[in-house]
Structure 1
Amino acid sequence: MINEGLEKENIQSPGDGNGSGEEIKRDFQGLIGNVRKFLSELLNIRQNTDQDATREAIIADIPFKGHTSWILICSIFIASVGLNANSTAVVIGAMLISPLMGPILGMGMSVAINDIFTLRRSLKNFGVMVILSVLTAFLFFKFFPLRDESSELLARTAPDIRDVLIAFFGGLALVIARAKKGTIASVIFGVAIATALMPPLCTVGFGLAIGNLNYAGGAMYLFIINTIFIGLATFLVIKYLRFPMVRYANSRKRRFTARVASLIALLVMVPAVYTFYIVFQKSQFEYQAKQLIDETIEVYQFMKSGRFMDNLTEIEYNREGNSFIELVIMGDEAIPENVINSWRNQKSKYPMLEEAELRVVQGGRDDSEEKFRYVNELYEAKKAELLNKDERIRILEAELANLSRQATQQIPFADISSEARASYENLDGFSFYYSIRTDFSKTDTVPVFEVKWKEAASSDQIVQDSRKLHEWLKLRLKNNAIQLKTSAN
């Protein structure tokens, strides 16, 4: 009996296990269903979309005339002043009132719904917007007396991968906010700031005003990138929300319109993908170059007074194959050639840097270019502290003069001391240093030689030899400012 009971229990156990497995499976499926439902409710934007109101709002923002044109002009002036004064707060204020987004959203939506009429209006007003903005900025920078190359301006001359991502996701946020019932105004303002369409147009005007086409071209490139990716984001969101296509009575016209819209969408997406690839390559190159610097120059131990100038490092990416990394070393210590060669070997470990040239500019070899870069760095560091342009020019001229004097006053001390020792038998010690002196109207750097004479030398002989040595030093070094100090042991 006991054995029969155990057999029954053993027979029932597998059945109970199958029942538990099915319950776990049902619970898991229920959990997946609940998560899917939660995510659907969390991320679904179709249910709360007002398609008619969204379309009307985008179309209403397309034209530039009357009040809108004057608002654009005023906002461009404000942004130009902010960029000129290097004031981020003023630039943000200008972006909040600028009506730049309308034609771009109109282009993206019209391509998505095959609306050729709206597309023509958007393109025409987009052209008006660009010309009016650039012309306003050009006139401001052309006639305004202060035209400094501020960091706010220079930041808009070279786009990178982050600008592409900001433009795309900013465009997504803007269209989603527009499509929601009860438009979220704060999102629209935030996107206007984040995508920063206005500063590049102001920088184009600045570049044209000062005759620097590189600035103007780089800023226009950044603006075009922003425009393409905002338009692309608009196109994708409108397609996802299933906005109704524009119907045409003529079937031939409808097919032609659909083909034109598809072609335009393709023409937008191809350069968008290509631009993203190019900017991504550049960003990868710069990132790997900084990694190489961190692993080489940053860990190198200078034994004397050498110093790596991180602010003067230049990283230049060129798709044609002329990319380079230029490192600047200041001081009188030269990095050995075998160390530099080891850095070049390490460079090959990075795929983007294999074809790039590694340059090392050292103060101990040829520092003429280095000194002028140093003056440029000095200008950038001090210009915020200077009151006016005349003061900046005065400081730069003084620094250039000082550097030039130092370059011409390099003393070949080893040769001079050997020649002096051979010419004056009573000479017992010889030293050299620079003395910085001022009469409170100007400051000069004076080379000073100090000599010691042997005790056996007479006073008259010391005076006579000192005078001859002083004249010889001035003639030998071609510098009448040289001073001589004498002493006897």
Structure 2
Amino acid sequence: MKDLNNKGKNPANQENIENSAYTEADNKGKERKFRNFIKEKLLDRFTLSDDAASQDEINANVHKGIMIKGSNLWVLIFAIFIASLGLNINSTAVIIGAMLISPLMGPIIGVGYSMGVYDFNLLKESFRNFLIMVIVSLITSAIFFTLPLISFDQSELLARTQPTTYDILIAFFGGLAGMVAQTRKDRTGTVIPSVAIATALMPPLCTVGYGLATMQLRFILGALYLFTINSIFIALAAFMITRIMKFNIVLEIDSIRKRNLNRLMIAIIVFTTIPSVIIAISIIKRSSFDSNYRYFVEQAFDFEKTIVVESSAQYYPLYRKKPSSIEVRLFGEPLSDDVINNLKNQMSGVYHLPRTDLIVRQSDHNDSGIAITALQSSYTDLINEKNRQISHLQEQLSSIRTIDTLAVSAMTRELGIFVPQIEGMSLSRHVSFNIDGAPKDTIFICILSFQEDAVSEKAPDMDLIRHWLINRTGTDNIKILVEQSL
């Protein structure tokens, strides 16, 4: 009896097994289709092999690009002069113009490419030409800044003395773009490799030259460090693209030497990156402190009978072991010690200003100097706000006039197509007022000019014109006036 029961269950079990196998096969088929979709529709779009040049062609281009002599050398000198002029007059456009003609890319791309294929002869030649390029650039920019021109510490110069991780990212992605463009068959595409590289190299080189010409060590060290880390990360980007594209190795080296080379690269990258990360963190903290300081003064010192005449802040990073400070000068009713102590207690928790001292300088109503300063500050803020409002309204009015003029011109041409008797149209927007003098509504007034005999011989369909105006203006509050041309 037991055997009979088992036999009765076998068909059902067999069906479950078959269903399970079918479901598993179906799932595998769907998974295979999904993988094929990802590969064909997505991954193939990001491939670098479709329009890549051959390695022999890339190798020839790199060898040609690392040479800094003849026309390349003269173009480099001219580009450095132009970039130095742009830094001197604080013009970003002029600096970009110098980048367009700069031949700085070759030697650095050569360094990254040669390390990727273990071509140490090319590596030595790239380094040699890189040093020549740097020396020529520094001499050229130093000569420029020693000329009897007006030279100030402009923002474009100052920005190159405090390199941060943002500069590293600019150099790295510029290097990626430059190397990818360098490996294409058609090198006349949307990427100009020299511009991608020169973006990170031209300004700091010129800034070092400015520091040498004016004997300012902070410009020399800051810009030289920026140029160094930019060069390293551009070479790293070229190295990575070379490895991703799996170029043939020129010289086979043993695993120990390869491991030591990789360790050296990592050590150089880490040691050059750490200072820039520290500087970036310091800049972010300084920016956060300035923002919190302004918010604190604006919110915490909002008193009815006391106003802030002026305020200042001094930020010190943690390593200085000196607290930051905020100084506030007040005019009006003096604040009590309890109020001031309460403000100090709120600085760390509420306004995120730890390790910050608050200095409050108060003056009474009899201090005429402070009173005048307070009034001047108040009037200056008021005038600036009014000027901003006037400027904004003028911009709005100008845009409205431009839009209205263009719209009415187009509408007149359109109306003339289906109403040939018309000679002209004017359309204006007016505000209507009630008898109390209060604005009631906005009304469009349309004046139509017809030919002399249009009204008597074949009167135009005014209902059609009215419906057309309502549709084109988006409002039915329209008054139509008709005049006949003489």
TM-score, length-scaled by structure 2: 0.62
1:75 and 2:79 correspond:
yes
Report if the CA contact (8 A) 2:163-2:276 is conserved.
no
| Cα distance in 2, alignment partners of residues 108 and 71 from structure 1 | 23
92, 100, 104: which one aligns with 1:88: 92
| Cα distance in 1, alignment partners of residues 258 and 13 from structure 2 | 69
| Cα distance in 2, alignment partners of residues 296 and 241 from structure 1 | 54
Partner of 2:307 in structure 1?
A: 305
* TM-fit CA distance, 1:90: 0.6
Partner of 1:459 in structure 2?
A: none
* TM-fit CA distance, 1:145: 2.7
Q: Tell me: CA distance 1:61–1:361, structure 2 relative to 1, closer, same or farther (3 Å).
A: farther
For this pair of structures, how many residues does the alignment match?
355
Which segments of 5 or more consecutive residues in structure 1 lack a partner in the other structure? 1-6, 366-410, 415-431, 435-489
| Cα distance in 1, alignment partners of residues 121 and 257 from structure 2 | 10
Report if the CA contact (8 A) 2:75-2:102 is conserved.
yes
Partner of 2:49 in structure 1?
A: 46
1:36 and 2:39 correspond:
yes
**Counterpart secondary structure, 2:43:** helix
Q: Tell me: CA distance 1:323–1:38, structure 2 relative to 1, closer, same or farther (3 Å).
A: farther
1:274 and 2:277 correspond:
no
**Counterpart secondary structure, 1:285:** helix
| Cα distance in 2, alignment partners of residues 87 and 413 from structure 1 | 49
| Cα distance in 1, alignment partners of residues 264 and 123 from structure 2 | 10
> What percent of counterpart residues are identical?
33
Greater Cα offset, 277-286 or 88-97: 277-286
How far does the alpha carbon of each residue in 1:215-271 deviate from its partner, in whole angstroms, 9 at most, with x for none? 2211112111211111111111111212222238xx8xx899857754653443332
| Cα distance in 2, alignment partners of residues 97 and 291 from structure 1 | 40
| Cα distance in 1, alignment partners of residues 185 and 322 from structure 2 | 51
| Cα distance in 2, alignment partners of residues 219 and 413 from structure 1 | 52
How far does the alpha carbon of each residue in 1:138-176 deviate from its partner, in whole angstroms, 9 at most, with x for none? 221122330122121112111222111111111111111
* Amino acid in structure 2 at the alignment position of 1:40: L
180, 185, 201: which one aligns with 2:205: 201
Q: Tell me: CA distance 1:139–1:317, structure 2 relative to 1, closer, same or farther (3 Å).
A: farther
**Counterpart secondary structure, 1:306:** strand
Partner of 1:132 in structure 2?
A: 136
Alignment of 1:286-305 (within 5 A): 286=286, 288-289=288-289, 292-293=292-293, 296-303=296-303, 304-305=306-307
Q: Tell me: CA distance 1:189–1:119, structure 2 relative to 1, closer, same or farther (3 Å).
A: closer
| Cα distance in 1, alignment partners of residues 201 and 164 from structure 2 | 15
* Amino acid in structure 2 at the alignment position of 1:36: K
Which segments of 5 or more consecutive residues in structure 2 lack a partner in the other structure? 1-8, 374-486
**Counterpart secondary structure, 2:162:** coil
Report if the CA contact (8 A) 2:114-2:122 is conserved.
yes
* Amino acid in structure 1 at the alignment position of 2:289: A
Report if the CA contact (8 A) 1:111-1:262 is conserved.
no
* Amino acid in structure 2 at the alignment position of 1:343: M
* Amino acid in structure 1 at the alignment position of 2:308: G
* TM-fit CA distance, 1:305: 3.0
Q: Tell me: CA distance 1:287–1:87, structure 2 relative to 1, closer, same or farther (3 Å).
A: closer
Report if the CA contact (8 A) 1:76-1:94 is conserved.
yes
Q: Tell me: CA distance 1:307–1:124, structure 2 relative to 1, closer, same or farther (3 Å).
A: farther
| Cα distance in 1, alignment partners of residues 182 and 48 from structure 2 | 11
Report if the CA contact (8 A) 2:113-2:238 is conserved.
yes
Partner of 2:231 in structure 1?
A: 227
Partner of 1:181 in structure 2?
A: 185
* TM-fit CA distance, 1:37: 3.3
Q: Tell me: CA distance 1:269–1:412, structure 2 relative to 1, closer, same or farther (3 Å).
A: closer
CA-atom RMSD in angstroms = 4.0
* TM-fit CA distance, 1:43: 1.6
Partner of 1:116 in structure 2?
A: 120
Q: Tell me: CA distance 1:32–1:197, structure 2 relative to 1, closer, same or farther (3 Å).
A: same
Alignment of 1:366-381 (within 5 A): none
Q: Tell me: CA distance 1:361–1:124, structure 2 relative to 1, closer, same or farther (3 Å).
A: farther
How far does the alpha carbon of each residue in 1:321-365 deviate from its partner, in whole angstroms, 9 at most, with x for none? 547655454554798244234313568x7xxx87xx435566659
Q: Tell me: CA distance 1:180–1:171, structure 2 relative to 1, closer, same or farther (3 Å).
A: same
